[in-house]
Chain A
Amino acid sequence: MTRARRIAAGAGLALATCLVASVTPAAAAGGWWVPAPGRARSISALASDQGQATLAIAGGVAGWYRPETGGFTEIAWPRDASTYGPPIAVAAAGGLGVVAFRNGRLLQVGGAAPGSWLSPVAGVPQALAVSTAAGQLAVASSRGLFSGRLGRRLELVAPGDAMAVLAPAAPGLDWVALVGGRLWLRAPASGWIRSPRAPVFARKTRALAELASGLLLVGEPGGLVWRGSETAWERVFQVLPYGGLGGVPQVTAAAADGPSAAYLATDGFGTLLTPDGGYSWYRAAPANPAIAALATVGPVFSARPRGFVIAVSRQGVYLHRLQALPQPPTYTPTNQAAELEGTAAVTLGAALLVILLLWYGAGRRRRLSV
């Protein structure tokens, strides 16, 4: 092997090593969603009160779920509950929970105490919301939206196929619901009204989030995401087809996170995050891309993140905590100047070395040709 070839081979090897070294950290930095600890659970519905109480339905059984430990405490209810069909929806607020059964029966639960039955609603419950501060409960069922005081009979306020209902995300905000693709609002101390300015969404729209600022995000099953308030609405995001004959991944759930952030779950692209009320979007996808339910526990996307996101797929439950971004190093003028000088020296040194080697190689070639 000639000297020129040896030099070239060495330089090539150095180049390849540098390239691999520069690419490897990016590949290894993934995996910031982790499977929830404990036994893998197949959860079908999930609700959190943003504090200590998270209610879930796992394997057809409702219970208090602790995502940090994987603990699951089944809720005890009267023996005759088996005739009501399986539990299919849950709501939680202020340490209180409500479980809805397929035949419309509602069970109020709190802590370790046995549950107590509430008056049922017509149709199959699809979502429910509870507020302990206002003592109110609302149920979205296949027959319509039902609302009333906790422990009293719930009144039908909007007939139709109700898919989603949310309690106010902050004091003073509205209750919101989606009935047959139409948005219904209930301001504090007033009745439910159909929002006059909201567009008519797809009939089966269920992904709805109310940010603490009052902004609403609605994700249609076809992938179009809207944002709006009582006064104006605009399209903010469109999910694209998965590819081939896969169609567009359905938007399955949405969860608000403070005044400006929200997570959106899809059954093909995992979860997406908007930190600024729908203006920009980020991939925040756990290992399994088909997410069926979503909840945030405490502030996640904030200056002081203390909470986490729970994403539920058929293969199990995933948790995501916002990682602290690497802090930029603090430089004194002295070491910054030293680093700049070092960088300049490397640049100049590398250029001079390469020029010398090229010069030497060209000289050898000339001698060989002579």
Chain B
Amino acid sequence: MPGLALSREWGALLLVLGGAAATMLLPRAFGDPQSVDPDLWRLTGYFAAIAAASLLLRRLRDQAPISFALLTLTLPYSLWLWFLGYGGALPSFLGSPYGLLRNALAGVAWLIAALLMAAAFYFLAPRPRPQLRMWVRPRPGALLLGVGGAVLFLVLAFALPAPLIGREGVPLLSLGGSAAVAYGIANASSAVAQEIQFRGVLLASLERQHSRRAALIGQALIFGIAHIATQYQGPADSLIPIVILLGLIWGWMTQRSQSVLPAAIMHVAAELFLVATIVSGLYGQ
């Protein structure tokens, strides 16, 4: 019965995500809120265990694509944190921790790791091959969709009240010169990496088990949940709903154009805009 099968697949996904939430939040009961370990690494360990079990145990093979997709979300991000200087020393030629060079390199490392994970997902997943929508040559319509979406985002971002996202000013001095280049590379790389992770791998893995619409909504919700842990500098209240909405738009663009490129173009524009214009809250609020 298809309806029952659909519920079971969602149930398994909710179970995996519930375990992830427990892994993230239970240690707060006996530790400090910031935790002594970078919590993304903890989450990566959890998803790696689930993915390994689903690959090794035949009975869990159905869960392999989604658990590997979830690992694809956290492993590159953990690598990014490591590059930034969380937990463990890196060679000095990579620049000082939290420095501009390290920031740019961390973004590029995140992108490379996401690409490698996507390639592994593509070649290791059981047939039929997942639709990653990354290797196809983009059509002019797809490019137009991306550029048009980016322009529309900027118009809306200026038209809507600034406090909604906290885009209140541009710190010209701290964003000038080499900082602009470094932050540009770091944030453009991370935006493309996120498109590969969410609209490439996660959307493809959800589409293997669910309808296109359900997969679209599912990846947008997970995209929103993943941003709860983000160190967002703007108002926290409006972040998650906006991120879920953007996840829906970018997922729709990817499904419509059969390419992650339009969503990546719009995401890069949005990321650079937000980095340049969000004024931080005094206590991270």
Contacts and interface: CB of A to CB of B under 8 A. Distances in A.
Interface in B3-62: 7-8, 10-12, 14-27, 30-32, 34-37, 42, 45-46, 49-50, 53-54, 57, 59-60, 62
Given A234-B173, A236-B171, A346-B23, A282 B281 contact: yes
A198 interface: no
B103 to A, nearest CB: 15
Contacts of B245: none
Query: Taking each of A27, A242, A329, A362, which has the highest tally of chain B beta carbons within 10 Å of its own beta carbon?
Result: A362
Interface residues on B, range: 35 or more
A29 B22 contact: no
B19 A354 contact: yes
Query: Taking each of B11, B15, B25, B168, which has the highest tally of chain A beta carbons within 10 Å of its own beta carbon?
Result: B168
B171 A281 contact: yes
A238 B92 CA distance: 35
A278 B30 contact: no
Interface string A264-284: 000011001100001111111
Interface string A304-340: 0000000000000000000101001101000010011
Interface in A83-122: none
A343 B36 contact: yes
A153 to B, nearest CB: 43
B25 A18 contact: yes
B21 A14 contact: yes
Contact of B16 (A239, A243, A354, A366): A354
B119 to A, nearest CB: 25
A237 B161 contact: no
Given A27-B236, A240-B277, A243-B162, A8 B27 contact: no
A19 B225 contact: yes
Nearest to B59: A362
B248 to A, nearest CB: 18
Contacts of B12: 8, 358, 361
A32 B22 contact: no
A350 B46 contact: yes
Contacts of B217: none
Contacts of A234: 173
B46 A328 contact: no
Interface in B41-95: 42, 45-46, 49-50, 53-54, 57, 59-60, 62-63
A342 B17 contact: no
B240 interface: yes
A328 B53 CA distance: 37
B169 interface: yes
Interface in B174-212: 174
B282 to A, nearest CB: 5
Nearest to A356: B53
Interface in A250-304: 268-269, 272-273, 278-284, 289
Given A14-B21, A282-B281, A358-B63, A244 B34 contact: no
A228 B19 CA distance: 55
Nearest to B26: A346
A357 interface: yes
Interface string A147-189: 0000000000000000000000000000000000000000000
Contact of B280 (A12, A29, A241, A283): A283
B42 to A, nearest CB: 5
B172 interface: yes
B160 interface: yes
A353 interface: yes
Given A237-B169, A354-B16, 6 more contacts: A5-B7, A8-B12, A272-B279, A347-B23, A350-B46, A358-B63
Pairs A-B, 4 closest by C-beta atoms: A8-B11, A11-B18, A351-B49, A354-B19
Interface of B: 7-8, 10-12, 14-27, 30-32, 34-37, 42, 45-46, 49-50, 53-54, 57, 59-60, 62-63, 158-164, 166-174, 225, 228, 236-237, 240, 277, 279-283, 285
